[in-house]
Amino acid sequence: MKNLWKTISLISVLGALAVGLAACGKQSTSHQNSGYDSAISNGLNAVADNKFDKALTYFDNALTQKPKDTKAKAYRKQTQAYLDTQAQLKAGEVEKAVTTVAAGTKITGGAKSLKTKLSDLKQTAKTDLAEYRQLKQDVSDQLKVTDGSYDTGIIKQCQHINWQKKPYLKKLKPDVDKLLKQAGQQSNSSSSSSSSSSSSSATSSSSDSTATKTVSSADHKKAEQMRHNIFEADQGTYVWSELEKVPDTVVLQAENQSEAAGGDVGTTGSIIAKQYPNIKSYTGASSDDPNSPGAKDYLNADEAKQELSALDFYNKNQSHIEITGQKELDDAWEFTWSFKGGSMGGTFTVENKGIVSAESSNGNQIEMKTWR
């Protein structure tokens, strides 16, 4: 009888232990899911803030919670591709950067926001590659000049390269420096020979420069068609009256650079905008009216909302952003916003003097542009 009671007691203890362990297991799983969800959410918020290093850390954290999770793996791969592309552009590895970002855009099962970021970076990388290849060819051709007849446009371009803002060109710096030194030496030699010779050379150079701007009727039509293609491809982004002012030679050269880099009409427009920034419009004005002021002195709320399109952040995330409130300030409109179904939010400020900005709820500035 005693043995029977001992057996029953042992079974009861084991049963209680089993129930306790099961409860602990459920609690552990619940805690794990909570940590995973938080890491994914924080990672996506970091992406929205363009803080990709932080995003990578969050996605790594999600993978420690669920090591085999396909979503976290895809998000991490996308983020790593973005960071690698940025690093390669800074290192002057332009072609490698284009390959990396192109592969990043093809990652399946990833986040839409990351795919959008990668697509935008791909466009930038292609434009940078086109600029790199064209400059490389131009410098190579100019280094072969032995009679001093340098292309003044290319020399001036080389003189004004901002290497800090264009690190993707850094591998060309030795050749650019060599060209500038070579052109400078020949120029000094020529000017010391005689002032009249120098004057004649300058006149000749000016004449040559003017001649290079003259194109055939067929090329003019081709350039004009490209202007229309650029304007119509993304209406509201470009000002037609300013596009018309861009020389045919510049338009055709930009098209060639774009094709060489595997780009499209958007790439061509971006290349031209680097030399002629006025072709870009953020005003909301009638883009075919050069005399339009673009906006009233004092905007009402609806007009101010339209000027949010000047922000890349707003354009990329417009379908996910909800305006939750508005307030008129002394000389501006302030709109509160949040991501639909998300925790991130902040404010947009549209100032009558022509500045529009986006700020996150924690006070970090996301972007600032001019809309006039």
What does 33-91 look like in DSSP terms, one character per residue?
Answer: HHHHHHHHHHHHHHHHTT-HHHHHHHHHHHHHHSTT-HHHHHHHHHHHHHHHHHHHHHT
| Residue 196: per-residue pLDDT | 46
Spell out the residues 6+ positions from residue 126 whose beta carbon is closer than 8 angstroms to its own: 98, 258, 261, 262, 263, 267
Instruction: Let me know the angle formed at the C-alpha of 320 by 317 and 324, rounded to the nearest 5 degrees.
Output: 110
| Residue 108: per-residue pLDDT | 93
| Residue 183: per-residue pLDDT | 83
Give the end-to-end CA distance of the chain in Å, rounded to a whole number.
96
Residues 119 and 105: beta-carbon distance below 8 Å: yes
Helical (H) or strand (E) element with 287: none
Q: Which of 268, 272, 281, 228 is nearest to 247 (CA)?
A: 272
| Residue 185: per-residue pLDDT | 65
Give the whole-angstrom CA distance, residue 143 versus residue 159. 15
Spell out the residues 6+ positions from residue 303 whose beta carbon is closer than 8 angstroms to its own: 284, 295, 296
DSSP labels, 312-355: HHHHHHGGGEEEEEEEE-SSEEEEEEEETTSS-EEEEEEETTSE
Task: Read off φ and ψ for residue 238, nearest 5 degrees.
Answer: -120, 150
pTM of the model: 0.51
Adjacent-strand bridge partners of 356: 350, 369
Topology of the domain comprising 301-370:
Nuclear Transport Factor 2; Chain: A, (3.10.450)
Record the tokens describing residue 3, joined without a space.
């043995």
Residues 190 and 148: beta-carbon distance below 8 Å: yes
| Residue 96: per-residue pLDDT | 92
- pLDDT by residue, tens only, the chain of 372 residues: 556 555 556 566 555 555 555 555 555 555 567 788 888 899 999 999 889 999 999 999 989 988 889 999 999 999 999 999 999 999 999 999 999 999 999 999 999 999 999 999 999 889 888 889 999 999 999 999 888 888 888 888 898 888 888 888 999 999 999 999 888 866 555 555 544 444 444 444 443 443 345 678 888 888 888 888 888 776 667 777 778 888 888 999 988 888 887 878 888 888 988 888 778 764 443 333 333 333 344 677 877 888 888 888 888 888 888 888 888 887 788 999 888 776 678 999 988 777 889 988 878 888 888 766
Residue 115: other Cβ atoms inside 10 A: 15
| Residue 74: per-residue pLDDT | 94
| Residue 71: per-residue pLDDT | 92
Helical (H) or strand (E) element with 280: none
Residues forming CATH 3.10.450 domain(s) in the chain: 301-370
| Residue 284: per-residue pLDDT | 40
- Angle, in degrees to the nearest 10, between helices 70-90 and 94-105: 160
- Angle, in degrees to the nearest 10, between helices 52-65 and 70-90: 150
